[in-house]
C-alpha cells in the first residue's frame, strides 16, 4: 500500500482534563474559561450534570465558560451519566459531601460498569452511597458530613483517587491517599492550579487539606494523547507514513504507550516540549518495523486506555507478544479483552484471549476473514479497528462506528484528511 499517513494534525482537547476543568470551575468562585475544551458526548454529560445542579455554563465551539459560585444546588431530576464512567465516579466523590441527595443513572453500557470500587472508600469517609445489588448504577448519593481518612489505593485508579480527593475537599479533617503505583494525576495538577493550599504531595502520598479557597482560572486543555495514540500507531504500521501531531499533552502518567512503542522500535520524536501545568509537545512519527513486546506490570497504568492499540502494534510485529496485567480492560465500555480478540480474528490476526490480556503471534501477512466488524459500541474499539482496516485494500464495515463521538467526534474526517 503506497499511500501512508502524512501531514500535520492537531488532535482534540484531552478528555480527562476537560472533565476536570468543568468540575473545578463549578466548585470555584468566579469565572473559569477553558480553551480547547473537548466537545464530545462524555464531556457534554459532565456539563449537563453541573448545569442541572445550578451552575451557569456557556458553551462556545471549543471554549467553555463556567460561572462558579462555590456551591451546588440539589438537582430537580435524576442525573443522567450517559456513557461516562469518569463523570459518574468523580461526581460520586463530590456529591458525597453536598447538603442534598442525588440519583445517578446511565446508559446500558455504563450500567454494567463497577461503581463499588469508588463507593467503598467513600463509605469509609462516612458517605451514604447506595448502588444496585451488583455494585453498579443506579446510584443514590445522600450527601452528609464526611471524615478525612488515611487510605492506600488497592489498585492504581485515577478515578477512585479523584473521587476521594473531591470528597476530601469538604471533609472535617485532612485526608491522606497513598498510591503504591502511580496513576494519572490530572486531578492533582488541576487542584494545585485552582487551590494550591488544598493539596500536598510527599513521595507516594497525597495530602488533602479541606475548606481552602478554590479560585477560578483560565486554562488551555492540551491535545489528548489517547486520541493522538491512534495517529501514532497508524503512522507507525502503515508504510510510507510521516506525520506531525501538534500540541499533545505529555503528562508523565500518560506516556506509557509512547515509551513502549519506542521500546518496540517505533520512530517517534518529541519536539517543541513545553513544561506547563500539563506538559505539551509535538510528536513526529514515521513508519517503522516493530519488535514483539512483553509488558511490565508497572507500565500498565500509564497506557491502559491505549491497550487495544498496543495489541494492534503487537499484531504487526514479527514474533510473539504476551501482554499481561490488563484485566482492567474487562471493565471498560466493553470487555476490551474479549472484543479485541473477537474482532482481530476477523482480520486474520493470530491472537488468543488470556485472563488478563493477550497472546499475539504477530506478522504482516494478515488474511482477511470477515469484512464486517463490530465496535461493540466502544469508541476505542471502533477507532482501533478503523486504523487496522487501513492495512487492507478491501472495503471493511464497522458496526456502530459513530460511537467515536464519545471521545473524538471528528475522527473519521481527520483520517480522511491524512489519507488524501
Please check if 16 is assigned to a binding site: yes
Question: What is residue 374's DSSP assignment?
Answer: E
Please check if 287 is assigned to a binding site: no
The gap from C-alpha 281 to its chain's centroid, in whole angstroms, comes to: 19
Please check if 380 is assigned to a binding site: yes
Question: Which residues form the catalytic set?
Answer: 305
Please check if 321 is assigned to a binding site: no
Please check if 159 is assigned to a binding site: yes
- The closest of 225, 206, 95 to 161, measured between CA atoms, is 206
Please check if 148 is assigned to a binding site: no
Give one word for 97, left, alpha or beta, with left for phi > 0 and alpha for psi -120 to 50. alpha
Tally Cβ neighbours within 10 Å of residue 204: 13
Please check if 130 is assigned to a binding site: no
CA-to-CA distance for 183 and 63, rounded, in angstroms? 28
Please check if 330 is assigned to a binding site: no
HEC-encoded secondary structure of 260-299: HHHHHCCEEEEEEEECCCCCEEEEEEECCCCCCCECCHHH
CA-to-CA distance for 142 and 337, rounded, in angstroms? 35
- The closest of 104, 83, 165 to 376, measured between CA atoms, is 83
* Helix (H) or strand (E) segment spanning residue 139: strand 139-142
**Backbone phi, psi, residue 261, to 5°:** -60, -45
Please check if 265 is assigned to a binding site: no
Please check if 336 is assigned to a binding site: yes
Q: b/e string for 72-87 if b means 16 or more Cβ within 10 A?
A: beebeeebbbbbbbbb
Which residues have a Cβ under 8 Å from the Cβ of 392 and sit 6 or more positions away?
347, 366, 368
- Pairing relationship of beta strands 218-220 and 29-35 according to DSSP bridges: parallel
Provide the edge-to-edge strand list for the sheet that holds 350-354: 319-323, 357-362, 350-354
Please check if 374 is assigned to a binding site: no
Q: Tell me the three cell numbers of residue 248.
A: 499533545
Q: Which residues are annotated as a binding site?
A: 15-16, 20, 85, 113, 157, 159, 305, 332, 336, 380
Residues flagged as binding site for 3-phosphoshikimate: 15-16, 20, 157, 159, 305, 332
Annotated binding site for phosphoenolpyruvate: 15, 85, 113, 159, 336, 380
Amino acid at each position: 500500500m503506497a499511500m501512508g499517513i502524512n501531514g500535520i494534525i492537531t488532535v482534540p482537547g484531552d478528555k480527562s482534563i476537560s472533565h476536570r476543568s468543568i468540575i473545578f470551575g463549578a466548585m470555584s468562585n468566579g469565572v473559569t474559561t477553558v480553551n480547547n475544551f473537548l466537545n464530545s458526548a462524555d464531556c457534554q454529560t459532565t456539563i449537563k450534570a453541573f448545569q442541572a445542579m445550578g451552575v451557569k455554563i456557556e458553551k462556545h465551539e471549543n471554549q467553555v465558560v463556567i460561572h462558579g459560585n462555590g456551591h451546588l444546588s440539589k438537582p430537580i431530576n435524576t442525573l443522567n451519566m450517559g456513557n461516562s464512567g469518569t463523570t459518574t465516579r468523580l461526581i460520586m466523590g463530590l456529591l458525597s459531601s453536598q447538603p442534598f441527595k442525588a440519583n445517578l443513572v446511565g446508559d446500558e453500557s455504563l450500567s454494567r460498569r463497577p461503581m463499588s470500587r469508588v463507593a467503598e472508600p467513600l463509605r469509609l469517609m462516612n458517605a451514604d452511597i447506595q448502588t444496585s445489588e451488583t455494585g453498579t448504577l443506579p446510584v443514590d448519593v445522600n450527601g452528609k458530613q464526611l471524615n478525612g481518612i488515611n487510605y492506600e489505593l488497592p489498585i492504581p485508579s485515577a478515578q477512585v483517587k479523584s473521587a476521594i480527593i473531591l470528597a476530601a475537599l469538604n471533609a472535617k479533617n485532612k485526608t491522606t491517599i497513598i498510591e503504591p503505583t502511580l496513576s494519572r494525576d490530572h486531578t492533582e495538577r488541576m487542584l494545585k492550579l485552582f487551590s494550591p493550599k488544598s493539596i500536598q504531595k510527599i513521595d507516594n502520598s497525597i495530602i488533602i487539606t479541606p475548606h481552602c479557597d478554590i479560585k477560578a482560572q483560565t486554562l488551555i486543555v492540551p491535545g489528548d494523547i489517547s486520541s493522538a495514540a491512534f495517529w501514532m500507531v497508524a503512522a507507525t504500521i502503515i508504510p510510507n507514513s510521516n506525520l506531525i501531531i501538534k500540541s499533545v499533552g505529555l503528562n508523565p502518567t500518560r506516556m506509557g504507550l509512547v515509551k513502549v512503542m519506542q521500546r518496540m522500535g517505533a520512530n517517534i520524536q518529541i519536539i517543541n516540549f513545553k513544561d506547563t501545568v500539563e506538559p505539551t509537545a509535538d510528536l513526529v512519527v514515521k513508519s517503522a518495523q516493530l519488535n514483539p513486546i512483553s509488558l511490565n506490570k508497572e507500565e500498565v497504568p500509564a497506557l491502559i486506555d491505549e491497550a487495544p492499540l498496543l495489541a494492534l502494534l503487537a499484531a504487526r510485529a514479527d514474533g510473539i507478544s504476551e501482554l499481561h496485567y490488563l484485566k482492567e480492560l474487562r471493565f471498560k465500555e466493553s470487555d476490551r479483552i474479549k472484543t479485541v480478540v473477537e474482532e482481530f480474528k476477523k482480520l486474520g490476526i493470530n491472537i488468543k484471549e488470556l485472563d488478563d490480556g493477550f497472546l499475539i503471534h504477530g506478522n504482516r501477512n494478515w488474511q482477511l476473514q470477515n469484512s464486517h466488524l463490530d465496535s461493540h459500541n466502544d469508541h476505542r474499539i471502533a477507532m482501533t479497528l478503523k486504523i487496522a482496516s487501513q492495512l487492507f485494500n478491501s472495503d471493511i464495515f464497522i458496526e456502530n462506528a459513530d460511537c467515536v463521538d464519545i471521545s473524538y467526534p471528528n475522527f473519521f474526517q481527520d483520517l480522511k484528511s491524512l489519507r488524501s
